[in-house]
A and B are shown apart, each in its own frame.
Chain A
Amino acid sequence: MDRFDRHLRAELHREFDAQAVDTPPPHRARYGQPAGRRPPVRAMALVTAAFAIGILVGLVYEGSSVISLGPGHQLGAVPSTAPPPSTAAGSPATVSTASPSAGATATVRPSPARRPSSTPVQPPAPPAFSDDFEADQVGANPPAGWRAGDGQWTGVVSGSGGHVVRHGSAASLSHLVAGSPQWADYAVSADVRTDLLDLGFAGVAGRYHDPRNDYECGVTVGGQLVLWVVHDGDREVLDASGVSLDLSGDHNVRLDMRGNRLTCALDGTVLLHATDSTFSAGSIALVASAGEVAEFDNVRVGG
């Protein structure tokens, strides 16, 4: 070992041993609940979100009996604020957020006394979904929680930074779909590896109904970001960036939909704006045009 190595070791210890690291105790470490076998957090989040809505409904319903409403009161007349402490104590609902960057992962323990109710009193929670494909085996096609809307996907492959999902060069225009058709206002984003693009585009789709009906935001081989509405198979450009971009490596493409307002961002910078009312809700999809090798990673959906 030469002198430089020894000096480097000593200086690294001097530098980093002194770095204070706040290690929260395990009960406060926010790594959430184990996923167990696939499907993991995605399905868990949906199930627990359903539990959460059910609990809220149940609490309101229980609350109505605890506070002894008169015979003329209806469920809808109960304030939708937090239940009284006595009710909350009898209905433990613990909600933990895993990581801000990992998306909201709600884990809720339902109340044993919860009463079933089919009457929704809360608006649907904003969708929360994320997938980095690390839990999928290489070769998984489609990845767990996804389905091929059309075309053909190569499936999960091992990329330079971990597992990614790939669209192969032999495939036609393809959509890989996840999420709920009930999702309305949300943003979907994904890291898209674009340096393999040949002639077409790759990106994300929102309010997806079927391969011929959705909104799509993608990067093109021309180095542009484009926002489309695809209606009955007709593809119309709503907005496009006029700036050529360096397309080597990965880029984060994000499509945000709020009512009839649509925006599209590249690497955190909103470049495109449009107003369109063709679709009000729908699933998400990864999309790649015919013959394009494209890889996708770190898909996120948030409210």
Chain B
Amino acid sequence: MGEGLSGLQPGSRQDFDRLYLETHPRLVRTLTAVLGDAAAAEDCVQEAFVRAWRAWPRWRPEAPVEAWLYRIALNVAFSHRRRVRLRQVTERLLRPGLGRTDVRVRASPLRAALAKLPARESAAVMLRYYHGYSRAETAQILGLTERAVSLRLAKAQQILARELGEDWNEQPALHPVAGSGVTRDEDTIG
């Protein structure tokens, strides 16, 4: 996890800049999947870096830095998503018929399906299948046990299969799996 980010010193501006450059795009993509909204994802990643920068002098080098950063960013995203949904519920209660629906413009079927997952499930999917973290690393980032990660991934797989259709995985992949950071172990969920 974070092989290219060794030797970081807590409190170092230069090292934090390195961390930022290395992880910012990955965080934005992960949070886009969790939130279903690229602009909100960029805002949340921005907020996450503000929080991380404040805590940077207290980061312990023995803690995996990328897991630490993902955890902060996902907590920001989970809070954001909870607030948005509560606001929508309140608006619908107060003004029936006027509450904003959850509109996503030109979302692909996969993005739309990811957006229907609970936040932690979509985060687990992105960490495990997009970034290629091992189950143990995913568990560490999400603050879960490996067993809990497996259960969440299994649940996510069920929902995705339902949303995308049973024959979705029969379609040919349009792009080969990128090599960077993708684990090649053959473990299965559950």
Contact = CB atoms under 8 A, between A and B. Distances in A.
B169 A4 contact: yes
Contacts of B58: 135
B184 to A, nearest CB: 9
B106 interface: no
A246 B90 CA distance: 8
Contacts of B111: 15
A89 interface: no
Interface stretch (A54-62, A231-239, A248-256): A248-256
B3 interface: no
Given A9-B130, A40-B54, A161-B75, A15 B169 contact: no
Contacts of B110: 11-12, 15
Contacts of B82: 161, 249-250
Given A15-B110, A19-B29, A99 B46 contact: yes
Nearest to B166: A4
A298 B126 contact: no
A183 B110 CA distance: 49
A16 B32 contact: yes
Contact of A132 (B51, B126, B186): B51
A298 B111 CA distance: 29
Contact of A7 (B33, B130, B169): B169
Contacts of B32: 16, 19
A23 interface: yes
A67 interface: no
B86 A249 contact: yes
B61 interface: no
B77 to A, nearest CB: 10
A50 interface: no
A29 interface: yes
Contacts of B25: 21, 23
B83 A17 contact: no
Contact of A37 (B13, B57, B126, B188): B57
A251 B157 contact: no
A29 B24 CA distance: 10
Given A12-B126, A14-B174, A19-B29, A267 B54 contact: no
Contact of B47 (A2, A102, A250): A102
A205 to B, nearest CB: 21
Contact of A31 (B20, B57, B175, B187): B20
A73 interface: no
B130 A16 contact: yes
B101 interface: no
B103 interface: no
A269 interface: yes
A245 B50 contact: no
Contacts of B11: 34, 36
B38 A19 contact: yes
Contact of A251 (B86, B161, B186, B189): B86
A269 B89 CA distance: 12
B87 A17 contact: no
A298 B79 contact: yes
Given A31-B20, A161-B78, A17 B178 contact: yes
Given A8-B129, A26-B17, A267-B86, A101 B47 contact: yes
15 contacts: A6-B173, A11-B110, A11-B174, A16-B126, A23-B24, A30-B46, A31-B20, A31-B52, A36-B11, A37-B57, A161-B75, A250-B82, A251-B86, A252-B87, A267-B83
Given A26-B21, A251-B86, 7 more contacts: A4-B161, A5-B189, A9-B132, A21-B29, A26-B17, A102-B47, A269-B94
Interface of A: 1-17, 19, 21-23, 26, 29-37, 40-41, 98-99, 101-102, 132, 134-135, 161-162, 191, 243, 245-246, 249-252, 266-269, 271, 297-298
Interface of B: 11, 13, 16-17, 20-21, 24-25, 28-29, 32-33, 38, 42-43, 46-47, 49-58, 72, 75, 78-79, 82-83, 86-87, 89-91, 93-94, 108, 110-111, 125-126, 129-130, 132, 157, 160-161, 168-169, 171, 173-178, 182, 185-189
